[in-house]
Structure 1
């Protein structure tokens, strides 16, 4: 493992590990593609694709947190829509309750973002792009968010409801 990847893994564990987090995530669809973020330092292969999102801070509503996280990670300004589903993400040392909302872009420019709470050499966002379900499914299951195990199409993603325990 290289030193930069070691630093990213170390920061992920230090900032988010061994505690329960509340995360907010956005499902942004453009045509037949879903906006995804590739992180390093997460999972067994150190590659992890998931919809944009992140941790909610004290005294910040879920909508405010999602608007902030989307801007940080993707450069897009968004309007938050309906709550779609809740997922419990349990991959030690990470454990999070994730609230997934539909979102619409209202401005900004799509770009690879950053995590302001992480050091420059510990950044974990490696890529941000729109992907078809076929592209998402082309990765090994451990490299994409578990919600995609239940989906065969973009419509399946927005039709997920309730509590997902994966």
Structure 2
């Protein structure tokens, strides 16, 4: 199985009551996820989530701490995916679908609504902003 790293961002609105989701166009129908995507060769997790959020939503974000880590095995694709979800804060840009061939819409949903679509998190109150997070430590190049 091939290992694939994927990054996502949990981005709250100014009230802290809504989360940003993107509606992806899939092979078997559309589905909502947090903004994010696969890490490219030579890219850090932080760089990947910043790039993916920008590509999908046109927003610039500041990456916070690790919100959750999850993994899944996709038999059809023969992939072992590890999902790194970070907290993110909007620091610029305006919400806009920039890749209409991949993204149908970008929406703010209440925490309760979003939990129905985000199936890789743990616990029913995982999206509370007061949830425990851990620092993301980027050590850089180690010789």
Same fold (TM over 0.5): yes
> Aligned pair count?
130
Q: Decide whether the 8 Å contact of 2:6 with 2:36 is kept in 1.
A: yes
Determine the structure 1 residue equivalent to 2:62: 79
1:41 and 2:18 aligned: no
Determine the structure 1 residue equivalent to 2:93: 108
Determine the structure 2 residue equivalent to 1:146: 119
1:134 CA displacement: 3.2
* Alignment partners' CA distance in 1, 2:39 and 2:105: 22
- For the aligned residue pairs, the C-alpha RMSD in angstroms reads 2.6
Determine the structure 2 residue equivalent to 1:64: 47
**Gapped runs of 5+ residues in structure 2?**
135-143
1:153 CA displacement: 6.7
Give every structure 1 segment of 4 or more consecutive aligned residues whose post-TM-superposition deviation is greater than 6 Å.
Answer: none
* Distance change >3 Å, CA 89–CA 145, structure 1 → 2: farther
Determine the structure 1 residue equivalent to 2:103: 125
TM-score (norm 1): 0.67
Determine the structure 2 residue equivalent to 1:13: none
Deviations along 1:115-161, whole A, 9 cap, x unmatched? xxxxx8xx231111110133335x6xxxx231357324730x76266
TM-score (norm 2): 0.76
* Alignment partners' CA distance in 2, 1:113 and 1:20: 28
- Secondary structure of the corresponding residue to residue 120 of structure 2: helix
